[in-house]
Amino acid sequence: MFADKLILRIPGPTPIPPRVQQAMNHPMVGHRSGLFSNLFVKTAERLKPIFGTEQDVYIIAGSGTSALEMGVVNTLQPQDEAVVLVSGAFGERFAKICERYGIIAHRLEVPWGDAVTPELLAAYLQDKPQVKAVFATYCETSTGVLNPVRELAQVVREKSDALFIVDGVSCLGAVECQMDEWGIDILVTGSQKALMLPTGLAFLAASERAWKVIEANQAPSFYLDLRAYRKSLADRTTPYTPAVSLIFGLEESLNMIEEEGLPQIIKRHELMRDMTRAAIQALGLPLMTADRYAAPTVTSVNPQGAFDPEQLRKTLNGKHNVVIAGGQGHLKGKIFRIGHMGYCEPLDVITVISALEMSLKQIGADVELGTGVKAAQEVLINHV
């Protein structure tokens, strides 16, 4: 096997397109130069359709978690109350960030693998009039659930005066998102998922409603103070040193997104989801999520003791150069997850399913070779 032909199918970081890699090799430029200013402002503007907003999108040199923390620290004060929707590890992360800043986090928890429904949220908000923000995860990476944020946003508007703050790290750029129309107040994402970039950039947009709260809030942070980013963007720059090479890569990634078109990108991800799920079901393996809430970017499988998921992952990597993800939190060692987002197309899914079948056979699982591949192929062939 060729070491440089690693097939990376985890839910992030995701593979980098060669043309994006090449763009990042651009000779270094001054981060306060006119050349970089023009590049930075243009790329920030071009992010707006991905968010579904007319608001400015701020680019932060940091991981997606830095933007999650921004959403907390810029809107809430110690002892403020918030509701955090927890359907997996990243909903729990939002709650932990809140608690680190002394915020009272009311967890609305559902079993991992389930989605938070509008009905559950409406009932939960009834006796919590003091809540100032509701935090949700659009795609819960740890389980493969796509929470219904459009409907959840409507509930927040109808049942409270709270801000609605959404983690879109694992799906933005691969799913429909209309931040302004749906009533999302703060939306964040990261570079290393559907945007086809290395780790290191985070992105955040805030509604006018959110900005009224942010301007009145005493953010106990220096680097994550959103007001500094707003002021600097108006001056066509950043408050602190940006990740220059990643911005060159972002420009090329946006070129690719615009060439394919967001509607087609969304359809491609839905197709890859459907192919993967059909294959897993044909192999007789239990999926963690219901079809209705299945994420187009990652599929989680719970073999329920039929075999060791970690042995499967080790075999996939060692014998076939394919890397998939394991479980997180209490699911560590119990499930496996297949990422299918960003620089990924239907034939890549066929390759991974084929390697998965061989690896299952090699660890002694009761599968028939070709069963999953056939099911995925049929979905692809019948796709209109």
Task: Give which of 174, 351, 360 is closest to 267, Cα–Cα.
Answer: 174
Q: How far is CA 172 from CA 51, 73, 231, in A?
A: 7, 22, 25
Angle at 346 between CA 341 and CA 348, to 5 degrees: 75
What number of other Cβ atoms are within 10 A of residue 172's Cβ?
A: 27
CA–CA dist 311, 137 (Å, integer): 30
CA–CA dist 362, 59 (Å, integer): 45
Phi then psi dihedrals of residue 52, to 5 deg: 70, 45
CA–CA dist 235, 262 (Å, integer): 29
* 8 A C-beta contact, residue 145 and residue 268: no
* Cα atoms found within 13 Å of the Cα of residue 355, Cβ hemisphere only: 24
Residue 337 is assigned to a ligand binding site: yes
The residue type found at 194 is: A
Task: Give which of 117, 92, 167, 115 is closest to 291, Cα–Cα.
Answer: 115
- In the block, which residue shows the tokens 């986090």? 105
CA–CA dist 361, 184 (Å, integer): 46
For helices 208-216 and 226-234, give the axis angle rounded to 10 degrees. 120
CA–CA dist 55, 9 (Å, integer): 33
Angle at 218 between CA 217 and CA 220, to 5 degrees: 130
CA–CA dist 134, 107 (Å, integer): 10
Beta bridge partners of 326: 336
Q: Could you tell me where the beta strands, DSSP code E, fall in 24-170? A: 57-61, 81-86, 104-109, 131-137, 139-140, 145-146, 163-167
Annotated binding site for substrate: 337
Annotated binding site: 337
